[in-house]
Amino acid sequence: MRRPIIAGNWKMNKTPSEAAQLVKDLIPLVKDADIDVVVCPPYTALYTVAELVKGTNIKLGAQNVHFEKSGAFTGEVSIDMLKELGVEYIIIGHSERRQYFNETDETVNKKAKVILENGLTPIICVGESLDQREKGVTNDFVSMQTKLALNGIAGEDVKKVVIAYEPIWAIGTGKTATSKEANDTIEAIRNAVKDVYGEEVSEAMRIQYGGSMNPKNATELMAQKEIDGGLIGGASLKAEDFSKVVLY
């Protein structure tokens, strides 16, 4: 049985004081959740949120990391910096980073390796555009993104990876993939992993759905066989909404 994982991606929202308020409101609401609950604040709020979630069942995630250990990379943040703060999960390859900040399959792969070598968990985002879905190449495209992200990573490590399937056309649009569409694509991703690593690995790996997931649709999405969790944007910015998704 795969343990469900619901993560909030706060994107570029919340100052440190706003982040503190959100997580203070959230702690009592999700304290009884028997799943992995993760919040991913912006870098500038990580320290504040790290202090507040100590001793609770909420885990800390970051929204990106650089793949080099240290050095002359102005504006970037390293794995050691995140580790020292108590970060356990790191989102990489989000479609917004691929679209606006030059994230490529190659950098995603380098980042995944660094994260795993350091004992942390990458949440690797994959997902097709509307054009790709309409042309019928969704499964091929997300399978390729997944294989390239995992290239050169050993099966034992792949078991620890979390993949977030986020159709680009469903992000922040209020349009959700139907539970069947989401389940079918996630099944295709799992099969792609099975092709390379075998069934033991593919069955262990957790795959989330992301894209306008909210308190109204979480129950149905989470009931699907292949869906192991959610990566939540907009609905993670309000404690009550996020807690309802967590308690789906």
Give the catalytic positions in this structure. 94, 166
Name the minimum Å distance from CB 172 to ligand 13P.
4
Query: Tokens at residue 202, please?
Result: 């593919």
Name the minimum Å distance from CB 238 to ligand 13P.
12
- Please say whether the beta carbons of 192 and 150 come within 8 A: no
Pick 128 or 166: Cβ nearer ligand 13P: 166
State which amino acid sits at residue 129: S
Binding site residues, ligand 13P, CB under 6 A: 9, 94, 166, 171-172, 210-213, 231-235
- Please say whether the beta carbons of 21 and 247 come within 8 A: no
Pick 18 or 155: Cβ nearer ligand 13P: 18
Q: In sequence order, what E strands does the chain have? A: 5-9, 36-40, 58-62, 89-92, 121-126, 162-165, 206-210, 229-232
Pick 112 or 231: Cβ nearer ligand 13P: 231
Question: How many CB atoms within 10 Å of residue 50?
Answer: 17
Pick 229 or 234: Cβ nearer ligand 13P: 234
Name the minimum Å distance from CB 174 to ligand 13P.
8
Q: With CA atoms as reference, report the closest residue to 210 among 128, 136, 135.
A: 128
Helix, strand, or coil (residue 134) = helix
Non-local (6+) Cβ contacts of 231 within 8 A are: 7, 9, 91, 123, 125, 164, 166, 208, 209, 210, 213
Query: Tokens at residue 165, please?
Result: 């399937």
Name the minimum Å distance from CB 125 to ligand 13P.
7
Query: Tokens at residue 157, please?
Result: 């490590």
- Please say whether the beta carbons of 118 and 160 come within 8 A: no
Pick 179 or 191: Cβ nearer ligand 13P: 179
